[in-house]
Every structure is written in structure tokens, then in C-alpha cells.
Amino acid sequence: MTIHREGRTLLFFLLIFFTLLNLAVGNYLPDFEKVRLFTLITSGILFLLVLQFFRNPIFKIVQNDKQVLAPADGKVVVIEETEETEYLKERRKQISIFMSPVNVHVNRMPVEGAISYYKYHPGKYLVAWHPKSSTENERTTVVAKMKNGTEILFRQIAGAVARRIRCYVSEGQKLDQGQEFGFIKFGSRVDVFLPMDAKITVKVGDVTKGGRTVLAELE
């Protein structure tokens, strides 16, 4: 387990702030033991909450070009057939994963492939499970083209709390299955658009682990 680079600067300044806060309370309120204890416990809990959000687990990724891995930790909230209108412009099976603030927020490649399309869209901040969040919220769209020519589209979607999406890819870049491609801060959603002949291996309500849970099997 490591701390993700997106959180290191924030955690450093939080540590300094909470340390100075506790020193100030101790110096200016030396006779108020309960106040000093409350400040110490509260700041410790808040720091640990932020710390756990930026955790980055280390594990072995089992790669398989016939499988689509979950791009994020979270819970499956949508499985449906839909029309993908931005890039693929065809009917696809959509799987949506909701990421709560307590989930690991590292995003990982669901398949191995070269990035054939990438676009950032500014937008609204509807709650991540809202049906229109996929097309109206701030989001990034990424398409990976596999060796056999199959393209898998996936989107990072901001929510009511998550207002900073980070995506590290560029068009033409080649990435391995399970490799980190982005990060979303404080709750969000990731949509994956699969071919119609893909065999879905999860159901609504299932808990996913990024880079480990198999979402679907490809023909």
C-alpha cells in the first residue's frame, strides 16, 4: 500500500496545519484539557480520513485479452444496452461503477490497447448516479483499441462532490491492462461501453475492485 501522488501535497499541508492547530490550542488554552483533547482527536480523524482516500494498493494484475477488468473500485449501479453517440456511434452494453469517498479512487485500464480517442468535457456536477450524469457532467472519454481491433470506451464522470478528474493518457499511447490511467477525487463514477456480444459477468449491486474484478468476457 502506498499513498497516491495526487494526495501527497495535500496531506503534507494538512499535517502542518493540524500540527500548528494543536500547538496553538495547547499554548493558548493550557487549562482546557477537554478542548485540547477534542482538537487532537478531531484533527487526527480528519487526517486519517483524507489519508485513506488517497491510498494506492499494490497487487498483481492477471492480464487476459479475453476479459474486461473493472476500471475502478466501487459498486455496479447500471447494466444496460444503450446507444454510444460520442465516438463509437453504435449500440453497446454499458456498465457503470459508482465510487464512494471511501473507495480507492485510482482508475485502471480495463483492457490492453492503444488510446485511439481522448476528450475532456466540462459540464455540470449532478450526483454521480443521476441518469444524465454520463452526458451532462464534467467527464473525460477514453477509447482503447485492442490488438484485435475491438475498441472499448470508458468515461470518468465527476459527481456532486468529485470536482477534479485527472486523466494521464494521450492519443496514440499504449497501455497495459490494469495500468493506471487516471484518478478522480472524492466520489465519482466510471462508465464502460462494451460490444454487444460481450458476456457480462457482474450484476447490479456487485462490489468491484479496480484491476481485479472481471466485468465481462469478450468473444
User: Which residue of the set 96, 133, 134, 188 is catalytic?
Assistant: 188
HSE toward the beta carbon, residue 121, CA cutoff 13 A: 19
Q: Judge contact between 153 and 84, C-beta under 8 A.
A: yes
Does 71 lie in the same domain as 46?
Answer: no
Q: Whole-model pTM above 0.85?
A: no
What is the span of the domain harbouring residue 19? Answer: 2-56
| b (16+ CB within 10 A) / e for 79-90 | beeeebeebbee
Residues 6+ apart with CB under 8 A from 181: 71, 107, 108, 109, 142, 167, 168, 169, 175
CATH number, residue 122: 2.70.70
Q: Judge contact between 211 and 190, C-beta under 8 A.
A: no
pLDDT at 155: 93
Does 163 lie in the same domain as 190?
Answer: yes
Q: pLDDT tens digit string along 23-80?
A: 988 888 877 888 889 999 999 999 988 887 788 888 889 999 999 999 999 999 999 9
Q: Judge contact between 142 and 167, C-beta under 8 A.
A: yes
As for how many domains the chain has, the answer is 2
| pLDDT of 136 above 80 | no
Does 191 lie in the same domain as 84?
Answer: yes
| b (16+ CB within 10 A) / e for 22-44 | beebeeeeeeeeeeeeebeeebe
Does 77 lie in the same domain as 52?
Answer: no
Does 88 lie in the same domain as 151?
Answer: yes
Does 39 lie in the same domain as 13?
Answer: yes
Domain-embedded: residue 62: no
Catalytic: 188?
yes
Does 131 lie in the same domain as 29?
Answer: no
> Which contacts qualify for 39-47: CB closer than 8 Å, 24 or more apart?
43/18, 44/18, 46/14, 46/18, 47/11, 47/14, 47/15, 47/18
Domain-embedded: residue 209: yes
Does 197 lie in the same domain as 120?
Answer: yes
Main-chain dihedrals φ then ψ at residue 24, nearest 5 degrees:
-65, -45
- End position of a domain, from candidates 30, 56, 82: 56
| pLDDT of 129 above 90 | no
Does 79 lie in the same domain as 45?
Answer: no
Does 146 lie in the same domain as 52?
Answer: no
Does 106 lie in the same domain as 19?
Answer: no
Q: pLDDT tens digit string along 154-213?
A: 999 886 555 578 899 999 999 999 999 998 876 688 999 999 999 999 999 999 999 999
pLDDT at 134: 62
Domain-embedded: residue 74: yes
Domain-embedded: residue 61: no
